[in-house]
Amino acid sequence: MSAPLVIVGASHAGVQAAVSLRQSGWQEPITLISAETDLPYHRPPLSKAYLAGEKTADQILLRGEDFYAAQDIDLQLGVTVEEVSTQDRKIRTTGGDLPYSRLVLATGASARPLPTEGADLDGIHMLRDMADARKLKTAFEAVDRLVIIGGGFIGLEVAASAAKAGKQVTVIEVQERLLARALPPMLSEWIAGHHRSKGVDIRLAEPFDRFEGENGKLTGVRLKSGERLPAELALVGIGSLANLQLAEQIGLECQAGGIKVDDVCRTSALDIFAIGDCASQYNVFAREIMRVESVQNASDQARVLAALLTDKPIPAPGANWFWTDQYDLKFQMAGLLEADCEEIVRGDPDTGAFSILLMKNGVLRALFSVNKPADHMAARKFIAAATPLNAQLCGDAATPLPKAVL
């Protein structure tokens, strides 16, 4: 039997790569290695439905246990890759040595730590994987007050879950607005206002100083201003760092915080590929090399890789898209935030259903919608195809967005 294609990492990118390879006709052995002991699962629900008790761990699995055996995918759980020898084409793992024909790194990213005084106190959490979520859920159910450091997607999703559960929530954000790198100012302000209407204390331009506690347990958060916020639980959500340990051991070229790959996910080493949150790739829409953390990007890269390895047509790049659920709101984003665009508001923000479009030279560059799924779906197509649009019709909420095509 030939050596297997080995995928390191079993989140969205890794699992999709295995699935797409089989769907594309790959007949050779596939080994999927995960350092986690849980079956691969959807990560977005961890801060929402799972934390709130609306879904169990079994209900957020990517695939059932029987699927992997049925597709002849050797899923190895609780196994850590310690070293890769490119000369011998061999991987050393905690489960033994393993040869490979091709190697796919889908190692993902880890929550960015906050090295500060009191960071080792009991009651301080991060949220990246199921193990984190289980610990947070247990602690979450036992407290009344929590402070969230970082007004990003994870922090705001947890804030919404906590507010719905009747807890006292404070969000500390060092920037002057929420999600400043991802959203236009108007939407940042709208989201902050919505959270405040639900009782969440949003603190903007508030630098964090340290954690404080007694007998090894968190009791409060101290701000640079000197103010102390009582807290029984703190969540640190200040971004992520790509898991590059294997890439660095192999000697792969890295750039923009990730493993540098070409348009078909090849790294700088022969027969080694990288996909998902750990990979940095030239983005044709942003016109720069960047690391994009999203389910869409992970899945698209996995499908491109499968097409390459099975000699199928390579899919054209699609628009980047993201989503976040907070309270009864679904925020959907198509494209990437871009400067020097004409901003068009489509619909009335007071109704809780509207979109913000960013246009440049008559072409849609990005669309940010609240409870407007039809706008989002149309925008993904228009951004990918650089479709010229009528700006006046785009701003008329009574006109379906496809009717704005010139």
Give the tens place of pLDDT for each residue, 130-144: 999 999 999 999 999
Instruction: Fill in the amino acid letter for 383.
Output: I
d(CA 230, CA 218): 9
Compute the average pLDDT of residues 329-341.
95
Chain Cα centroid distance, residue 226: 33
Backbone angles phi, psi at 50, to 5 degrees: -70, -45
Environment class of residue 262 by beta-carbon count within 10 Å: exposed (0-12), middle (13-18) or buried (19+)? exposed
User: What number of residues does the chain have?
Assistant: 406
Q: What's the CATH superfamily of 113-238?
A: FAD/NAD(P)-binding domain (3.50.50.60)
Which residue's entry shows tokens 């898991």? 243
Predicted confidence band at 1 (pLDDT cuts at 50, 70, 90)? low
Q: pTM for the complete prediction? A: 0.95
**What are the tokens at 2?**
């030939």
d(CA 254, CA 239): 19
Which residue's entry shows tokens 């404080």? 212
DSSP 402: G
What is the side-by-side order of every strand in the sheet holding 73-77? 73-77, 30-34, 5-8, 102-105, 272-274
pLDDT at 2: 87
Backbone angles phi, psi at 306, to 5 degrees: -60, -40
Predicted confidence band at 3 (pLDDT cuts at 50, 70, 90)? very high
Within the chain, all domains assigned CATH 3.50.50.60 are found at: 5-110+241-309, 113-238
Which CATH architecture describes the domain 5-110+241-309?
3-Layer(bba) Sandwich (3.50)
Kindly write down the DSSP assignment for every residue of 209-271, as one continuous string.
EEEEEETTEEEEEEETTS-EEE-SEEEE---EEE--HHHHHHT--EETTEEE--TT-B-SSTT
Note the pLDDT tens digit of each residue in 321-331.
999 999 999 99
Q: 76: helix, coil or strand? A: strand
d(CA 349, CA 355): 8
Q: What is the mean pLDDT of the chain?
A: 96
Compute the average pLDDT of residues 119-123.
96
Task: Please name the fold of domain 328-404.
Answer: Enolase-like; domain 1 (3.30.390)
Q: 331: helix, coil or strand? A: strand
Task: Please count the other Cβ atoms lying within 10 Å of the Cβ belonging to residue 255.
Answer: 14
Q: Is the pLDDT of residue 255 over 70?
A: yes
Within the chain, all domains assigned CATH 3.30.390.30 are found at: 328-404
Note the pLDDT tens digit of each residue in 196-241.
999 999 999 999 999 999 999 999 999 999 999 999 999 999 999 9
Instruction: Fill in the amino acid letter for 25.
Output: G
Note whether 172 and 147 are within 8 A (CB). Answer: yes
Closest alpha carbon to 179 in 215, 206, 207, 155: 155
**What are the tokens at 114?**
């906050």
**What are the tokens at 46?**
């961890």
pLDDT at 365: 97
| Half-sphere exposure at residue 369, Cβ-oriented, CA atoms within 13 angstroms | 24
